[in-house]
Amino acid sequence: MFTKVTERAAFGASKFRGKNNKIAADQAAVDQMRSKLNKININGRVVIGEGEMDEAPMLYIGEKIGTGFGDQLDIAVDPLEGTNFTAKNLPNAISVLSVTQKGGLLSAPDTYMEKIAIGKGLPENLIDLDNSVEKNIKLVCEAKNTIPEKITACILKRSRHNKIIDDLNRLNVKIQYISDGDVTGVISVIDSKSPVDIYLGIGGGPEGVLAACALDCLGGQMQTRLVLNDDNEINRAKKLGIKDLGKKYNIEDMVKGDVIFCATGVTDGEMLNGIKESNESYEANSFVLHKSQNIAKKVTNKIKK
């Protein structure tokens, strides 16, 4: 049922592909996602959303979602990851949500977050944010029995990453740059069609939790740490119950218990196809994960408008 939520949000956003209006695209996704969620028989609470109550009119952190009947659930949403991608009709815009039982998700503030992630089948706790880039690359190489020249790192192309990029270049590691799309970037470490071996850098906190949900289902590794730049951000973190501001979070610290993850393509991308519209219906391509059911599949649905 949660796939229907991201399908509808993706369809709403798709109306604004190539129209150079990222605000309208995001709002359409939010409207459709909220409307669909409120028709489901759950007693839901948004723990990762569009912002805090005074910043976001809908899908704000703490907002009650659903009919109020049924299981108590925590919900993390990003109705449109890749607002710029949608506005410019570029690849990899998606609509995303994750669901756990109440208390199952880290309620991360909308601040920056350090992240490092690798795929499955590697020694536990292999990587660490406090290691140098060189040491983390060396550990991944040893675990994969390869050399740095054959490793691909994914990183957001931002000036704040210049030092990391210099280190990767010095090691002759191949770099796959992304301009946005933090969730998709992290998931790329575990996508069998992707060349990416490691994701590293600083991105959004909420996106970090959403990506952790996907990796939790798929067996990847991830470590994060909040980046709090001023008193306002520190107070926001404390308000959400975060006491240790410098804590390093592994996946089990961000996601507890069973988890469902759904993502639907808005524009065509490496992971998902975008919305395909006809006169009376639209076709949506989604990635669906359910940890306890061992479900990991891509589904394509044709939906009446």
Q: What is the CATH number of the domain that holds 64?
A: 3.30.540.10
Q: Are residues 149 and 206 in the same domain?
A: yes
Write the pLDDT tens digit of every residue in 232-290.
999 989 988 999 999 999 999 999 999 999 999 999 998 999 999 999 999 999 999 99
Q: How far apart are CA 173 and CA 137, in angstroms?
A: 9
pLDDT given for residue 56 in this prediction: 75
Q: Are residues 65 and 175 in the same domain?
A: no
pLDDT given for residue 270 in this prediction: 87
Write the pLDDT tens digit of every residue in 111-127.
999 999 999 999 999 99
C-beta of residue 205 within 8 angstroms of C-beta of residue 226: yes
Tally of domains within the chain: 2
| Phi/psi at 176 (5° precision) | -105, 105
Write the pLDDT tens digit of every residue in 80-107.
999 999 999 999 999 999 999 999 999 8
Write the pLDDT tens digit of every residue in 192-243.
889 999 999 999 999 999 999 999 999 999 999 999 999 999 998 998 899 9
pLDDT band at 51 (very low <50, low <70, confident <90, very high): confident
CA distances from 48 to 74, 128, 169, 298 (A): 9, 25, 35, 24
Query: With 0-12 CB in 10 A as exposed, 13-18 as middle and 19+ as buried, what is 119?
Result: buried
Boundary (domain end) residue, out of 234, 254, 274? 254
Q: Are residues 133 and 58 in the same domain?
A: no
Nearest to 5 by CA among 50, 85, 65: 65
Work out whether strand 152-156 and strand 198-204 pair parallel, antiparallel, or are unpaired: parallel
pLDDT > 90? residue 43: yes
pLDDT given for residue 55 in this prediction: 73
| Phi/psi at 262 (5° precision) | -130, 135
Boundary (domain end) residue, out of 217, 232, 254? 254
pLDDT band at 57 (very low <50, low <70, confident <90, very high): confident
Q: Are residues 228 and 100 in the same domain?
A: no
Q: How far apart are CA 233 and CA 211, in angstroms?
A: 22
Boundary (domain end) residue, out of 254, 271, 294? 254
What six digits make up the tokens of 78?
Answer: 């990003």
What's the rounded mean pLDDT across residues 169-184?
Answer: 95
CATH number assigned to the domain comprising residue 117: 3.40.190.90
Q: Are residues 141 and 213 in the same domain?
A: yes
Left if phi > 0, otherwise alpha if psi is -120 to 50, otherwise beta: which for 135?
alpha
Q: Which residue has the tokens 């899908």?
A: 59
Write the pLDDT tens digit of every residue in 132-153.
999 999 999 999 999 999 999 9
pLDDT given for residue 113 in this prediction: 97
Q: Are residues 250 and 296 in the same domain?
A: no
Find the domain containing 83 and state its range: 2-104+259-304
Q: What's the N-to-C CA distance of the chain in angstroms?
A: 17
Half-sphere exposure of 211 (CA within 13 A, CB side): 34
Q: Are residues 93 and 189 in the same domain?
A: no
Q: Are residues 249 and 263 in the same domain?
A: no
Q: Are residues 147 and 243 in the same domain?
A: yes
Q: Are residues 130 and 184 in the same domain?
A: yes
Q: How far apart are CA 137 and CA 65, in angstroms?
A: 42
DSSP the chain: -HHHHHHHHHHHHHTTTTSS-HHHHHHHHHHHHHHHHTTSS-EEEEEESSS-TTT-SSS-TT-EES-S-S-EEEEEEEEEE-HHHHHTT-TT-EEEEEEEETT-B----SSEEEEEEE-SSS-TT---TTS-HHHHHHHHHHHHT--GGG-EEEEE--GGGHHHHHHHHHTT-EEEEESS-HHHHHHGGG-TT----EEEEEEEHHHHHHHHHHHHHHT-EEEEEEE--SHHHHHHHHHTT---TT--EEHHHHB-S-EEEEEEESS--SS----EE-SSEEEEEEEEEETTTTEEEEEEEEEE-
Q: Are residues 157 and 218 in the same domain?
A: yes
| Phi/psi at 216 (5° precision) | -60, -40
Q: Are residues 45 and 178 in the same domain?
A: no
Work out whether strand 174-178 and strand 152-156 pair parallel, antiparallel, or are unpaired: parallel
